[in-house]
């Protein structure tokens, strides 16, 4: 009888070692990926909000449909609306959803702090009806968008 000094294939022990190593690597790397995702969601939310403000201001300055345009803020949505008064569900509303885990936690416009609020831009000057701040947060970070009297925005 001849015995083979080696056998082809892998053993169950080798398979378990490889699976354990892959599991350890996934546990080490996955928190980093969630932090990167959270940071990107925050950046995108800030861009969406400032873009919405600029869009409403531009439409007001251009007198699109001979109207003013404004922005309404909710914890999970930013809505561009037509006119001086926000109407929920209006056909002209453009809804931009805030992606989890980001949310709008506080809106301070015209000195009034609330969980939601709105402002509009004057047709000829582009000036906002209210100045103030919008606070955007994620579990690990908070950013504040400031709206000036000219309608310019800044993020800190």
Superfamily of the domain at 12-155: minor pseudopilin epsh domain (3.55.40.10)
pLDDT at 150 over 60: yes
pLDDT at 58 over 60: yes
**How high does pLDDT run on average in the chain?**
91
Task: Break the chain into its structural domains and give their ranges.
Answer: 12-155
Task: Quote the pTM value.
Answer: 0.81
Residues 154, 145: contact at Cβ < 8 Å?
yes
Q: What is the layout of strands, in order, in the sheet containing 69-73?
A: 94-97, 77-82, 69-73, 117-121
Residue 56's nearest CA partner among 121, 117, 152, 118 is: 121
pLDDT at 76 over 90: yes
Say what the pLDDT of residue 32 is. 77
Q: What is the mean pLDDT of residues 74-80?
A: 96
Tell me how far apart the alpha carbons of residues 58 and 56 are, in angstroms, rounded to a whole number: 5
């Amino acid at each position: 009888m001849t015995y083979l000094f080696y056998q082809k294939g892998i053993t169950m022990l080798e398979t378990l070692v490889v699976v354990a190593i892959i599991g350890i690597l996934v546990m080490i790397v996955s928190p980093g990926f969630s932090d990167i995702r959270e940071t990107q969601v925050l950046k995108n939310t800030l861009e969406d909000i400032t873009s919405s403000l600029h869009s409403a201001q531009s439409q007001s300055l251009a007198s699109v449909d001979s109207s003013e345009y404004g922005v309404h803020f909710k914890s999970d949505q930013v809505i561009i609306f037509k006119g001086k008064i926000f109407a929920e569900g209006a056909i002209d509303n453009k809804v931009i959803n805030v992606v989890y885990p980001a949310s709008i936690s506080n809106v301070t416009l015209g000195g009034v702090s609330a969980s939601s609020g709105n402002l509009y831009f004057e047709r000829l000057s582009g000036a906002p009806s209210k100045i103030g701040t919008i606070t955007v947060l994620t579990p690990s970070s908070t950013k504040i968008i400031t709206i000036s009297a000219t309608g310019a925005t800044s993020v800190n």
